[in-house]
Structure 1
Amino acid sequence: MTQKIGAGLLSCADKIWETADTLRGAGIKASDWPAYMMPFFALMMLESRLRRFRQSRIDEFRRETEHAFNFEDAAHREWLEYSAKAANKGYHPELLLHGKGLGETCLVPGGNFLNRLLAHLDQYDPDTKRLLGIGYAQGHAKFLDMQGKASDLFSRDNCPLYPFAQKWASIDLTPFDNSEITTIEEHIKRKWADISAETAGEQYTPSDVIDLATALIVELRHECKGGAGIADIYDMASGGGNFLFATEDAMRDAFPELSVRTRGQELNDALYALAAIEARFREGARIEWGNTLTNDHFLLDKFDAIVANPPYGVDWKDFKRHLEMDASGRFDPKRMPPTSDGQLLFLQHAAFHLSEIGVATIVHSGSTLFSGDAGGGESETRRWLIQEQDIVEAIIQLPKNEFFNTGIHTYLWVLNRAKPANRKGFVLLINAETCFTKLRKNLNQKNCEIDEVNRARIVQAFRDFADGPISRKLPIDALLYNKVELELWRHDEEGRAIGKTEKIEGKKIVVRSDDALYNVDAGLLDLAPFAGKTVKEAIALFHEAARNAELTTVDVSGGQFYGRENETGTIWVGPENKGLGVLSVRAKAVKSKGQERARVDIALDRLLEKDSETVPYSSDEAINNQLIADFLARWVHEPWCLHGWKTGCEINFNRVFPKQSGIRASKEILKDIAAVEEEMARLEAEIAADLCVEGDDGTGNER
């Protein structure tokens, strides 16, 4: 995880992490440390960028005018202030004109340091104060909440605010460029994630996963020969911006002539603020705050590259109605997943925002591959992406335990709006489950990483787009299936069943449900056993007894007998077993001779059951119909009625990449059995000898 961090960056990251010692000493629990560290990290990042900006403008003034910049000259100061405000990267007069930042504020110990700190921070421009969390009104978002966290530290025993701020003030981020700042941030977040699984799961994507995703984005850009022009990059769940800005850096490195613009949206207050501050110092970057699904700030935009690690298993029932009424075209009522997990909504959102040459790498959990039944919202989303849109180019199974707070399998979806002709109609599955190296020390649940060698191996498999040691090239039809709905006429093992409906009538009928007897005279139920009950209550009790009985029999006047074992469905007519069927005994309330009575209808009928079968699929209608017919003819042996079928879609990595289990030779198994039998015989002999000794005291008398 540290191979990208040089000595200078690593030293800086370690100094940042040492600030946690003050928090530990103040009694703040480890999982809360990030909330105190993030605002000060953002402040020092902001200061470093403003100091660099200040110096660059002074140098520019010297080059343009061939005169030294004079801070005593009002015209020079006015030019610098105007330049800073126009750049809209943040404005602080003391920092801009006199170089006074947090370090200078910390020079004088003692006094009311909280007031001095807040007075210093209050000089920033309104938008910077909003992001830092200074002077927010009650009920408004606090974002990084610098004011709240500083006040909390000031109020604690020993007042740790001053030493904490002093440590941060000694950290100079000025020497590092934007990419290096992001690397430091990644390193710190990795440590935060090691401490707080709750924070990590929603907010942090490991750098090795980011490196793989960005490598694939670069590869796809190479394939479409897009080394020049403009590339718009988007992250719909941008967090602190690491994934988004790492993709930007990778694209700039790979294509120096490419003009890159980044866009992101994030719901978490603090992470949005962190990303928004960094975005100020990246050319063409813009981060918005809010729920991507309900309030899309980039609704009219299309993007050439999309990266994201949206949240897993997040409930969206609170805005279900809102999305069902969404008229943007992003979502379709037929493709709505269950409200317990909105991952597939993010996939639909990404597909909507892809440009004509747009590509995407999006991290998801396994539920996006197989959850839901044919015809349901989840299956329909997969089918829409894979078959109708044909934009899914590859799906990569990542190693287990890649993330900090979960050991579940995760998958990288690779989308491409401009799939090459030779890849249309196909999806590449890559099983990278074993493409990792073990970490020396586990980071919470993360115990492995995709190193450079394995990353190159995965990218090469994607580039080859063919069957290989870790890859399978599948036609789209192989990922689809027919779910055939049937009604079966059930028969017993000898092929017997009730052949037709037969109504049972007689002047006197006795219905037995286990030990209970119910008389039916001229079709009317004798209500005497139900004394004190209304007719409706009697009917309900009668039905309950028939439903719960193991055996129901019907004796008709004249000696005719019918019976049914309700568990097996076996029917008797007289003494003869007639096979499987239904003995239907139903009562209903009727008017008879001016009073309400219970009429009973009794009938024998065929045992019909609904069933469904999963049948292979073909996009050719004639072939598909034949596949269904052949399957039913081969595997369904009872008479059936076809009620139709639905097309489903799922991706099953275990079926495509079956796990081999070692099968022992029969000789080895027999040898082990013989050893066990020999051991059992020995134990039996020892037990028999012990019993003999206990039962005889040597004189022939039992003890």
Structure 2
Amino acid sequence: MADFQHITSFIWTVADDVLRDDFKRSKYPDVILPFTVLARIDCVLAPTKENVLKKYTELKDEIQNLDGVLKHESGYAFYNVSKYDFKRLLDDPANIHKNLIDYINGFSENVRDILDRFKIRNSIQALHEKGSLYLLIQKFASDTVNLHPDRVSSHQMGYIFEELIRKFNEQNNENPGEHFTPREVIKLMVNLMLAGDADMLAHNHIIKTVLDPACGTGGMLSVTKEHIISEINPNADIRLFGQETNDETYAVCKSDMLIKGDDRDADNIKPDSSFSRDGHPGMKFDYMICNPPYGKSWKKEEDFIKAEFERGTAGRFEAGLPRISDGQLLFLQHMLAKRKATEDGGSRIAIVMNGSPLFTGDAGSGESEIRRWVLENDWLEAIVALPGQLFYNTGISTYIWVLSNRKEERRKGKVQLIDATNCYVKMRKSLGDKRHEIADEQIREITGLFQTFEESKIVKIFDATEFGYRKITVERPLRLNFRISPERIERLSGEGAFERLSASKKKGNAGAAEVAEGRRQQDLVLSVLREMAGDEVYIDRQKFEKVLTAGFKKRGVKLDTAVKKAILSALSERDETAPACLDAKGMPEADPALRDTENVPLAESVYEYFEREVLPHVPDAWINESVTDPKDGQVGKVGYEINFNRYFYTYTPPRPLEEIEAEIKSLEVEILGMVREMME
């Protein structure tokens, strides 16, 4: 087998050697990726090329549809009937542009679809105009880029494409949230998704379907199928389905499926968005696996997604909508909507996401409601916290969620958390942000922890409701004092209702007259207040209101309700020694500035919690019982979050002061020594 990193490096240098000066760096992938795919296909078809041409020449005038015959001759689900290949193209430099187009047109329809997704004809025309086409073909026709499966496996080919795309994105500072899933992470996800299913999968004539709704280059689908075939049942019929919105990665995925010899799987890979253009509508799947893009906005599909949400249980996003800047939980709901019914065997799901879906969003938010929907329906089996620095384009923390609607009896009502953050080995050479990898032994260890389902230092098991809470609103009374002083009178100009007195809603002379009348009223109010100014401080709002009303009435000025409220606001200050302000019903009025919230564990009474945790500290507080959960109607909004740090935090005591002091003195001596050396 060839060294995929050596091939990747060679192709990378081809981009610089051939395309520099003629193409912007941002356009390099538009040329290099399709030609890499073409080189792979060219190598694959080379051994049977003459047989295909011979059969095509014999039968083209006799049989209208030669598709099946030519696929049989090529040994793959695709073929090419042009007399050209990469090496023959080099024999006629003067006509290489025309001949290359002939070569492209000679492919079977499924390969032409792949190349058209790359817009390869545009790249060929641009290369021809720049005089670079021959040199590029020459580079890709060299033995260094021999991409035949006998030399470069599908796994290695996946790495080559992923590494090229990663480097192009990194160079152009594009798609910072896009990243590919390392193979060891995929292996772990597949192990977890299939855990406990070996006996069922070993049955004769077993047929199972696997979906990845954000399949990228197809790595997750391929590893899942290979694991079942090689580790469990070589006769299993595993049917792959995928969807990918990026044209380039879609083309890479589909070409890889074709080269593996299964045109059925290749036909099941669909382009466009899984949300607004679901490529597998109405279908249900046995297994689903996915690494959705992190922090990717769904703004472009907002109208469709919101309409789908409004459909409720008839749509795919019934639980709620996450913030528009991150669609990870939309992918989760999309997959949950495609599960088989429990009576039909149910489904298992493995999805890897960053930390945001675990805890982002307050009670009542879209994220919290989605977590609530999953947990209260008891679909979450486990979450595995992965080590950092595993992915090529990001060092953030990631988590594998395992979900099922066919839980084992011992798992019902339970959620298993596994802290695998320390299960890694350092790589000898980093790949982008990837500095760590999970060894095979560690994959087996984590899978074993999942299957054993026993608590340990890094495994915790909780009731599903353990992650729920009620967010209650705690109020405290409004306490104010009032004084008609020059300083407080000045504040009135900043009160909205008072300012609006001189604002006109009319145009022309009528508007000007309205403004003038408003300013006259403002001056009149200020004049009355200045006459009433004094040093007396009132701590009873009702008493002060009577004084204020009487003062204005005495001077023949009538106040409307809005202006009166503005005056009371301007002349007041908070005063903890004052009695509570009462509302019209004689009840204490809440102070918005002192409003607070408390998260009460779902299993506990909000009133018992309030008496124990709140009243001892603020005896005048009360629960705002008007804030209720829209689903169950009880006091407080229900929220769900899964905070790994809370469950696996280990307290590390600070170092002794003597040790810190000794270290500081040692550093001082070292610094002084360095200073002396510099002065000598």
Q: Give the TM interval when normalised to the shorter protein.
A: 0.7 to 0.9
Is 1:105 aligned with 2:89? yes
Is the 1:190–1:206 contact (alpha carbons within 8 Å) kept by the matching residues of 2? no
- Which residue of the partner structure matches residue 442 of structure 1? 430
1:85-133, Cα deviation, whole Å (9 max, x unpaired): 67793342246xxxx5322223x04213122111211122344323202
* 1:346 Cα deviation from its structure 2 partner: 0.7
Q: Which amino acid aligns with 1:168?
A: F
1:119 to 96, 99, 102: 102
- Which residue of the partner structure matches residue 9 of structure 1? 2
Is the 1:236–1:266 contact (alpha carbons within 8 Å) kept by the matching residues of 2? yes
Q: Which amino acid aligns with 1:132?
A: L
* 1:181 Cα deviation from its structure 2 partner: 2.0
- Which residue of the partner structure matches residue 250 of structure 1? 227
1:148 to 119, 122, 134: 122
Is 1:384 aligned with 2:373? yes
Q: What count of residue pairs does the alignment treat as equivalent?
A: 594
- Structure holding more strand per residue: 1
2:419 to 426, 431, 451: 431
Is the 2:242–2:269 contact (alpha carbons within 8 Å) kept by the matching residues of 1? yes
2:348 to 359, 366, 369: 359
1:390-441, Cα deviation, whole Å (9 max, x unpaired): 1111112221122222222122111122111111111111222221111222
Residues 591, 165 of structure 1: CA spacing in aligned structure 2 closer, same or farther, 3 A cutoff?
farther
Is 1:190 aligned with 2:184? no
* 1:600 Cα deviation from its structure 2 partner: 4.0
Residues 463, 512 of structure 1: CA spacing in aligned structure 2 closer, same or farther, 3 A cutoff?
same
SS of residue paired to 1:393: strand
* 1:537 Cα deviation from its structure 2 partner: 5.1
Task: Trace 1:326-341 onto structure 2 (pairs within 5 A).
Answer: 326=308, 327=311, 329-332=314-317, 335-341=320-326
Task: Trace 1:58-207 onto structure 2 (pairs within 5 A).
Answer: 81-84=66-69, 89-94=77-82, 100-106=84-90, 108-133=91-116, 143-156=117-130, 159-170=131-142, 171-176=145-150, 180-194=153-167, 196-197=169-170, 198=174, 201-202=177-178, 204-207=180-183
Residues 635, 394 of structure 1: CA spacing in aligned structure 2 closer, same or farther, 3 A cutoff?
farther
1:225-248, Cα deviation, whole Å (9 max, x unpaired): 665511100010111212222222
Residues 489, 415 of structure 1: CA spacing in aligned structure 2 closer, same or farther, 3 A cutoff?
same
Alpha-carbon separation, structure 2, partners of 1:672 and 1:22: 53
1:44 to 39, 56, 72: 39
- Which residue of the partner structure matches residue 3 of structure 1? none
Task: Trace 1:284-323 onto structure 2 (pairs within 5 A).
Answer: 284-285=264-265, 286-323=268-305
- Which residue of the partner structure matches residue 264 of structure 1? 242
Alpha-carbon separation, structure 2, partners of 1:15 and 1:409: 31
Is 1:210 aligned with 2:186? yes
Alpha-carbon separation, structure 2, partners of 1:585 and 1:102: 97
Q: Which amino acid aligns with 1:121?
A: I
Residues 631, 204 of structure 1: CA spacing in aligned structure 2 closer, same or farther, 3 A cutoff?
same
Is the 1:315–1:339 contact (alpha carbons within 8 Å) kept by the matching residues of 2? yes
- Which residue of the partner structure matches residue 22 of structure 1? 14
1:432-467, Cα deviation, whole Å (9 max, x unpaired): 222111122222222111122222222122122222
Residues 268, 642 of structure 1: CA spacing in aligned structure 2 closer, same or farther, 3 A cutoff?
same
Is the 2:12–2:164 contact (alpha carbons within 8 Å) kept by the matching residues of 1? no
* 1:278 Cα deviation from its structure 2 partner: 2.6
1:582-610, Cα deviation, whole Å (9 max, x unpaired): 999999xx999999867746778256235
- Which residue of the partner structure matches residue 598 of structure 2? 614
Is the 2:385–2:400 contact (alpha carbons within 8 Å) kept by the matching residues of 1? yes
- Which residue of the partner structure matches residue 241 of structure 1? 218
Alpha-carbon separation, structure 1, partners of 2:374 and 2:623: 33
- Which residue of the partner structure matches residue 658 of structure 1? 649
Is 1:561 aligned with 2:536? yes
* 1:73 Cα deviation from its structure 2 partner: 5.8
Percentage of pairs with the same residue = 25
SS of residue paired to 2:655: coil
* 1:534 Cα deviation from its structure 2 partner: 4.5
Task: Trace 1:223-238 onto structure 2 (pairs within 5 A).
Answer: 228=204, 229-238=206-215
Q: Which amino acid aligns with 2:40?
A: M
* 1:192 Cα deviation from its structure 2 partner: 4.1
Rg (Cα) greater in structure: 1
Q: TM-score, normalised by structure 2?
A: 0.75
Alpha-carbon separation, structure 1, partners of 2:68 and 2:94: 35
* 1:308 Cα deviation from its structure 2 partner: 1.0
Q: Which amino acid aligns with 2:221?
A: L
Is the 2:294–2:354 contact (alpha carbons within 8 Å) kept by the matching residues of 1? yes
Is 1:349 aligned with 2:334? yes
Task: Trace 1:462-501 onto structure 2 (pairs within 5 A).
Answer: 462-489=450-477
Is 1:282 aligned with 2:273? no
- Which residue of the partner structure matches residue 30 of structure 2? 35
Alpha-carbon separation, structure 1, partners of 2:237 and 2:622: 63
Alpha-carbon separation, structure 2, partners of 1:593 and 1:429: 73
Is the 1:385–1:391 contact (alpha carbons within 8 Å) kept by the matching residues of 2? yes
SS of residue paired to 1:41: helix
* 1:211 Cα deviation from its structure 2 partner: 1.9
Alpha-carbon separation, structure 1, partners of 2:650 and 2:544: 45
1:639 to 616, 621, 636: 621
* 1:257 Cα deviation from its structure 2 partner: 3.1
Alpha-carbon separation, structure 2, partners of 1:359 and 1:461: 18
Is the 1:220–1:359 contact (alpha carbons within 8 Å) kept by the matching residues of 2? no
Alpha-carbon separation, structure 2, partners of 1:395 and 1:409: 13
Q: Which amino acid aligns with 2:193?
A: I
Task: Trace 1:656-695 onto structure 2 (pairs within 5 A).
Answer: 656-665=647-656, 668=659
Q: What is the alpha-carbon root mean square deviation over aligned residues?
A: 4.5
SS of residue paired to 1:382: helix
- Structure holding more helix per residue: 2
- Which residue of the partner structure matches residue 325 of structure 1? 307
Alpha-carbon separation, structure 1, partners of 2:111 and 2:491: 84
Between stretches 601-610 and 258-267, larger displacement belongs to: 601-610
Between stretches 223-232 and 652-661, larger displacement belongs to: 223-232
- Which residue of the partner structure matches residue 403 of structure 2? 415
Task: Identify unmatched segments of 5+ residues in structure 2.
Answer: 493-497, 502-513, 569-579, 583-588, 626-634, 670-680
Between stretches 80-89 and 288-297, larger displacement belongs to: 80-89
Between stretches 146-155 and 649-658, larger displacement belongs to: 146-155
- Which residue of the partner structure matches residue 575 of structure 2? none
Residues 294, 194 of structure 1: CA spacing in aligned structure 2 closer, same or farther, 3 A cutoff?
same
Is the 1:230–1:259 contact (alpha carbons within 8 Å) kept by the matching residues of 2? yes
- Which residue of the partner structure matches residue 400 of structure 1? 388
Residues 16, 586 of structure 1: CA spacing in aligned structure 2 closer, same or farther, 3 A cutoff?
farther
SS of residue paired to 1:439: strand
Alpha-carbon separation, structure 2, partners of 1:542 and 1:47: 91
Residues 199, 512 of structure 1: CA spacing in aligned structure 2 closer, same or farther, 3 A cutoff?
closer
Q: Which amino acid aligns with 1:488?
A: R
